[in-house]
Structure 1
């Protein structure tokens, strides 16, 4: 495997927009570079079919920029690398993401292609009632390629976070993801979220492509539902066997929590088991407002704890808490709890953790968290 899990050490302040260096390289070494398409999203003013919704509220959406904003809120230096149109929607995206403390200096502006937008209902993505309509074909982001985003743009980061969404946007975008995940001496730790979006794939190659990309990574996030849909894998052991190259595989089980397979040498140095060590951590009870953005928040919480050098249980619990922050708000981005607040909850014993009950507003420092 290439790269090593980032060590501990104090987190640096969140990045601020600056002047891009050579070839669009962010001006200072970030902890994490998140690369992918961000879009303007229109949220419905009321429940129901898109055909019946009378008005929408403008927000931003994009798996990779969501992770970037979550990591910046947690106190890390983060850059988002993407491509937007030279239009008002592109202005809004760049300014909004920068306002979350993310370095946007390497974001390119395309004078010929528009910024992507999409509309969605407020129903859970997993239900038949959920509708989403994308206007992203031919978007500025779909023109990303190894030429427009050279490896030097991301080379200085401790972690590079990418997703399967980018790979689905165009042949050039797939070539870019393959190039950035190519084995290289000293490359960043590659974090890959499978994020299978069936509507984006124009052919039947998704299972093969996403399995290959996942096996190029050091850390993989994948949902149990995705693994069944994509690869017909029925359980954790089958998923871990199929994703045999990454040193960490995080299998998200929804309300069942997350099970992690850790193959890093330090995890099983004294155990004769080349299949790695597994750990299951269940989430607290959450009063769900919306599920949109929860997976991205989980990744941000897990990566934040990874950057801090915390143990595996703490990494998963920080992921669950970050996801709970997103689950208890209507938009894609929730305000995560302060680090001290989250650390106190993560340190609870198993019994107290199992009694946690988180509702809207729980991340506020003065909000009482229920442990009945």
Structure 2
């Protein structure tokens, strides 16, 4: 019996060791990935960090951007997401509402739209990647101070400062690209709408320009006040916010300024389970997911799409259904950082749709999901 127990014990330890090794390997290729700091000339196809002096995450830790040079004279400027702060309470309770550090985000860059997979039509493009750790849709220049008992604390809503410093540092490596794609998911999609005009100004050589917002819809009457007062967003950006729909305001302003010289795209799952949760917080003060919240989101999304189509005649829309809960019918949040190559509505992937637009064929798919 003792011999049997000893064998069982050894087996358990061996299995645990194997599981630990597997978990370690997985973590080493995901959250623990840390790309090297760029020094000297970068190699084509290799990821590097750029950590400009003075850049900072909301919790005071270091912030960095990422760069990967491609073999084609084309550039993707890619904004990550990760929640938002809209008032003092959400700033003070940062981790409950948004990513507060950029330390463990490097692995996201090489998945989805940033992968080197053969099925990725953008694999040989240069990537400039903006991790997210500011709660301000990458658009702030401010600090929020508050008292935690007897101690003063600071939340750094420095997203615009980080973005601007990174772009200044990265541009010398990029050259003069002829094609530009500005893209982002979730909070990064909001950032894409807010900052696309600023990004475009930095690439005067690019004649083929596409802007794609992935999974970014929150209705809030206080967007202008939040951007201007809490985040300290540059006035030229904040003043575009005139309604409760930040993305619609920003993309409409972009179209009114640049017309059809920029191809504008918007995609979203039709009952986004994360956006409905944040919308519930805005509406009720509580983060909740439910079938009823999904119903409200689906209605809001239909109105959003209608507004985009009325304001931007050439807009491309992709409404998709993925990861649907059989009870609530609520769906996955964001797609470009993960399963962007999966065939969805009309057997078209989001990557196919974006690439078609880049090549002059702006399409819409999945609108029937909103009826």
Q: TM-score range by the shorter chain?
A: 0.3 to 0.5
What TM-score do the two structures reach when normalised by structure 1? 0.37
- Which structure dedicates a bigger proportion of its chain to helix? 2
What TM-score do the two structures reach when normalised by structure 2? 0.37
